[in-house]
Structure 1
Amino acid sequence: MDRAHAMGRTGAIVAMAVTVLAVASAAIEVMRAELPGFSHLLFDSLAVLIGLCAVLGIIYTCTASALVGRFFAREVATPRDFPAITIAKPLHGDEWHLEEHLASFFEQDYPGQVQYLFGVHDARDESLNAIERLRVRYPDAHITVVADSRLYGPNRKIGNLVNMLEKAEHDVLCFADSDVLVDENYLRQVVGALQQPGVGLVTAVYRGLCAPGFWPRVASALTNYHFLPGVVTGLAIGRARPCFGQSIAMTREMLERIGGLAQFAHHLAEDHAIGEAVRRAGAVVSIPPILVRHACVENTFAQLFTHELRWSRTVRAADRSGHLGAVLMHPFALAMLAVALSGGAAPAWILAAVALCVRAWLIWRTDRATGDKFSGLLCLPLWEMVQFAIYVASFCSSGVVWRGTRFRVDRNGMLSPVHET
């Protein structure tokens, strides 16, 4: 019954999206009829230009489909030895499946010593209930909790990590978000990559791990089929320089070499800034062919849009030219714009159909490369239009909302609170 209800709701949403597109196309057709001849030429010229962009987007999508398989087919480095590790996890609130996500770090096939270091700003934080249950489940685990309210800037995650690291006991440090789920070989793979010559930091790409509900599935799809292939393609062509806060591993020596974490307390994209600092120090940021899972829990469209918009503006702050070029990641939406501007011309509709097919091919290739089973292909047009709307909105303002607080982001990616009047 629940599945039937979900399928019915999915069909209704897809139908709504198609209706909106049809209404928009009809509105533009009315405008074309009412405007003078030169305006028709303008609309047709724009349709051709946007159609060319859609063609380039189709080429990009085919390229990404090939590259994503190649990326995950690479070998993962084997560790030479197994040094002691401190896993540092900043916590905030009782998140969805928090205990399960944290437990995946306790169930590692790793023979070295591991310190589990958890940090909160408030000793009454509800997340600590999960830590107490983990103490019972893993009585032999070395667990340390730090409750410290000190902040060093608007980025509370950095403040939490700085406070925690005062209690870190080992020289290999692994920072991982609280909503991340990993497999049992995670630490082996990370350490193996970190031990390669010239490597100063190891990070990992991620897929969405969706909570129950329609909108978490949409959020997961945006992560899996836009973010992930985009990163892989950017790496392959030498354009991307990422570092992902979901999983960062480095040595204490490297952290001291770049000047510590407190300097990043005013950054929106602190993970990107950390990666750039490591590169400036002459070391390599390694991204091995491993995956972690990042929870997608936005259960309303408003929550999804706000969260994805913050992420998109984070990318824009970190790499403005790359973010502008990312328009080619939206061939279906571009083709539908061409359909609307051309008054429903047949070539534009054909272009939209081709774009949708190659996007479906990319989804299949991505899932095959990562070993995941896909469902919900009927929602693909909706996913594409939602992602494009978020992308366009990312250019409209420099403001973001982070944990209920509104910030302004300057051209250097630095945060400053917006004081409401």
Structure 2
Amino acid sequence: MGYGLAAVATVGVGLLYGAGSRMVARARRRAAARDDRGIAPVPSASILKPLHGAEPRLADNLATALDQRGYHAPAEMVCGVADAGDRALDALAGLKTDGPVALRTVIGGRPKGRNAKVGNLESIAAQASGEMLVLADSDMAVPPDYLASLASALAQPGVGAATCLYVGRGDAGFWSRLVAAGIDTHFLPSVELGLATGRANPCMGSTIALRAQTLEQIGGMAAFRDVLADDFEIGVAVRAAGLRVVVPDMVLVHGCADAHARQMLRQELRWNATVAGLDKAGYLGSVVLHPLPLALIGGLLGGGVFAWGVALAALLVRGRIALAACQLDPFGRKATVKLQLLALVPLRDLLSFTTFLGALAVRNVHWRGANMAITAPTSTLKD
């Protein structure tokens, strides 16, 4: 038993090494292509930002979307809240509005469906004027060529939508840094492996850029009112329309705001349970991507030196992935931040394995103050 688990962990180490290599290659391609991009014609653009409550560094994150240098077409950022008392509006007050991207605010009514974010987006999209619509989470910080990169991706033949990978940034203390470490060292390599093998068809709330006519073709935001994984389902609908969803080399930054352990665990269980609900077989198979805990269990069950050696190799390959994630950060990272991330790797690996197992028992998720049931395979929300 111990040797068997160590052997499975060895496979995981090899896969993660390959994922780390893809991350390094992505960073190099991004650096080489950043100043070599041209598209014609350039579409007018609307960045749609659904806001909900006060978030750490919300104003800073939104400001990066307004700072789109060299985008030679009309562009706007349309922020939406459900009611005029939402504290997210405070973050908009100090934003500069004299830059290349105009800023508008939409205050909508009560959402028509169970997914409050989609209801917000539905109100925002109705007011957007751009030919290219960019659905983007409020906690994303983006580089200055964000719109240009997305427009370039959409200009490729047969492309219906573009989505973006992201690294993590802890904005609310230790627990948020632990969440960010999970994004850097678990989320990123798993998506890279999925892209390499063809098993992943990502379409992520970090950013979904698509033409206004494409959104209309797939039924508008109203078609996704009652699904939990609205971003995933948008990707499914785009592909069903005969178009591709692409992932450009550009990487964004996700500001993690989990200030408490309970908040962190709720969110990570929701993320994992959503993935498990969409693809149970793939989710179970991904256990191989947890080589450290598998090797440690193998060592305790008699795997001997072999198992302990695999555990060490697992730590080293995860550290390599952490450094690759630092290289992908479009804003760069201080040496102290890199060291903090490396120090969190062992704890992060064990926590990820725990939430991986825990999500298999989850039937309800806590999301934006509400408890909702997941019904596979469509992740439909039910009260």
Change (3 A) 1:87 1:368: closer
2:309 to 342, 350, 370: 350
- Contact kept? 1:101, 1:181, Cα under 8 Å: yes
1:299 to 241, 259, 272: 259
- Contact kept? 1:94, 1:126, Cα under 8 Å: yes
- Contact kept? 1:314, 1:413, Cα under 8 Å: no
Is 1:389 paired with 2:354? yes
Compare CA radii of gyration and give the structure with the larger one: 1
State the alpha-carbon separation in 1 of the partners of residues 25 and 203 from structure 2.
20
Partner in structure 2 of residue 103 of structure 1: 63
1:280 to 233, 236, 240: 240
User: What amino acid is aligned across from residue 327 of structure 2 in structure 1?
Assistant: R
Give the share of equivalent positions with the same residue, in percent.
Answer: 34
Change (3 A) 1:365 1:93: closer
For residues 203-230 of structure 1, the C-alpha deviation after alignment (integer angstroms, 9 at most, x for no partner) is: 1001112114211111111001110111
2:86 to 125, 149, 152: 125
Is 1:167 paired with 2:127? yes
- Contact kept? 1:118, 1:164, Cα under 8 Å: yes
Structure 1 spans left out of the alignment, 5+ residues: 1-44
For residues 230-255 of structure 1, the C-alpha deviation after alignment (integer angstroms, 9 at most, x for no partner) is: 11121112111010111111111111
2:174 to 181, 196, 214: 214
For residues 325-347 of structure 1, the C-alpha deviation after alignment (integer angstroms, 9 at most, x for no partner) is: 211111001111112223x7333
Equivalent runs, 1:310-329 vs 2, <5 Å: 310-329=270-289
State the alpha-carbon separation in 2 of the partners of residues 366 and 127 from structure 1.
29
User: What amino acid is aligned across from residue 52 of structure 1 in structure 2?
Assistant: A
User: What amino acid is aligned across from residue 317 of structure 2 in structure 1?
Assistant: V
Partner in structure 2 of residue 12 of structure 1: none
Structure 2 spans left out of the alignment, 5+ residues: none
State the alpha-carbon separation in 2 of the partners of residues 70 and 98 from structure 1.
31
Change (3 A) 1:232 1:191: same
State the alpha-carbon separation in 2 of the partners of residues 314 and 226 from structure 1.
16
Partner in structure 1 of residue 15 of structure 2: 60
Equivalent runs, 1:49-198 vs 2, <5 Å: 49-74=4-29, 75=33, 78-109=38-69, 110-134=71-95, 137-139=96-98, 142-198=102-158
User: What amino acid is aligned across from residue 197 of structure 2 in structure 1?
Assistant: I
For residues 52-73 of structure 1, the C-alpha deviation after alignment (integer angstroms, 9 at most, x for no partner) is: 2111111111211222222333
State the alpha-carbon separation in 2 of the partners of residues 143 and 67 from structure 1.
37
Equivalent runs, 1:202-281 vs 2, <5 Å: 202-281=162-241
SS in 2 for 1:166: helix
User: What amino acid is aligned across from residue 384 of structure 1 in structure 2?
Assistant: D
Provide TM-score, normalisation by structure 1. 0.84
Change (3 A) 1:129 1:358: closer
User: What amino acid is aligned across from residue 71 of structure 1 in structure 2?
Assistant: R
State the alpha-carbon separation in 1 of the partners of residues 258 and 280 from structure 2.
26
- Contact kept? 2:159, 2:243, Cα under 8 Å: yes
> 1:91 Cα shift?
0.7
State which drifts further: 346-355 or 171-180: 346-355
Provide TM-score, normalisation by structure 2. 0.92
User: What amino acid is aligned across from residue 66 of structure 2 in structure 1?
Assistant: F
- Count of residues in Structure 1 that have an aligned counterpart in Structure 2: 370
Is 1:360 paired with 2:319? yes
State the alpha-carbon separation in 2 of the partners of residues 180 and 370 from structure 1.
12
SS in 2 for 1:375: helix
SS in 2 for 1:86: strand
State the alpha-carbon separation in 1 of the partners of residues 5 and 363 from structure 2.
26
- Contact kept? 2:278, 2:379, Cα under 8 Å: no
> 1:139 Cα shift?
4.2
State the alpha-carbon separation in 2 of the partners of residues 295 and 138 from structure 1.
23
SS in 2 for 1:165: helix
For residues 161-205 of structure 1, the C-alpha deviation after alignment (integer angstroms, 9 at most, x for no partner) is: 111112111221111111111111111111111111111101100
State the alpha-carbon separation in 1 of the partners of residues 60 and 12 from structure 2.
39
> 1:417 Cα shift?
4.1
User: What amino acid is aligned across from residue 401 of structure 1 in structure 2?
Assistant: H
For residues 307-362 of structure 1, the C-alpha deviation after alignment (integer angstroms, 9 at most, x for no partner) is: 111111111122222211211111001111112223x7333222212222222222
- Contact kept? 1:229, 1:366, Cα under 8 Å: no
Change (3 A) 1:229 1:132: same
Change (3 A) 1:414 1:365: closer
